[in-house]
Structure 1
Amino acid sequence: MTDFVAYTEFAWVLGVLGLAIAYVTYGYVKKQPAGTDVMIDLGEQIHDGAMTFLRREYTYLAVFVVVVAILLSLAISTTTALAYVFGALSSVAAGFAGMKAATRANTRTAAAANEEGQGKALRIAFFGGAVMGLAVASLGLLGLGALYLAFAADAVPGTGEFGNFAQIVSGFAMGASTIALFARVGGGIYTKAADVGADLVG
């Protein structure tokens, strides 16, 4: 077994560590002052609207994921289909984490810029965005590590068994990419609609 493959056994540890760092980072953002009562009220409306959109979008995407999983199960294997669903769920979790952090960071960034200057505002904005980045990378590592331990811990590279694991990983990656692709397009449309709506109401 190569050193690279041996290290894969510990991927889930790095995933858990990354999620812990993301949680601490979110806690730092959340404890920052959110500004005036008006800013807090607007921030809650933005947060509620964004989370409602995300829940509705993922509800529709769940139907698509189920259909694709059934097709994968019939065309390839049930294991690959389950890995596809696992990847989709990981992407959903990352999306919720990123949206929650971003909508909490926006008013706090504005309040920091107004009260303490650009340096503090930049720090809050950076940490708010870092939650999403950490969540994506950590959930990816956690998912790959879990799949490796479940299906390939005893496999020998270059054999058919290890080749099956590559197929399972492809299913996981496809599931994560499916959610990310639709979220990217749908989120862009939602953002543009919100911008136009804000312009119309002044």
Structure 2
Amino acid sequence: MMVITHVAVALLFAVPVALVEPSLAGPAAVGAFVGGALPDLDLFVGVHRRTLHFPVVGPALAVPAVGLALLVTTPLTVGAALALVGLGVHSASDALGAGEELRPWERTNTDAVYDHVGGRWWQARYVVPYDGSPRDLLVAVAASLPVLVVYDGPVRLVLGGLLGMAAVYTLLRRRLVPYFERVV
């Protein structure tokens, strides 16, 4: 899935915080944004979907972090909890997409995300056929709608801009492969 989809899904978890305690909406959104985007930094460092993706550990860390944020509700605990939720959901949900390859529609590599606990790759499920697919954009838009309704200001502006970028990427995704191959 596109990093934009992961960010939108992570921000969706910030919506209840914004509704229940508006003063914590900002830290929740920042934490969700960071956690939703962070795992994909391993595109630049290490092995993508292995180095910074933790599909078992991420969700396991998110549960006590959310519990702590409920017991000790501060901007820091809420932001950290949403960051861990975003990281966990991003990491685990990559198994719903394609394998790790430049032409995922060809399905030549079914390794979706590495499970550090089990010591093996989780297999791709192709619910979202590949990053930048029309279904990927649909998930990003669907996850964004509640966020765009509840949030205003910078969150709405940034997410709206990201959705615009996602739409362009979706239109160009298959055409961009030859350029990616030259870089890689």
Q: Which interval holds the TM-score relative to the shorter structure?
A: 0.3 to 0.5
TM-score (normalised: structure 2):
0.36
* Richer in helix (by share): 1
**Which structure dedicates a bigger proportion of its chain to strand?**
2
More contact order relative to length (CA 8 Å, sep ≥ 6): 1
- For the pair shown, the structure with the greater C-alpha radius of gyration is 1
Q: TM-score if structure 1 supplies the norm length?
A: 0.33
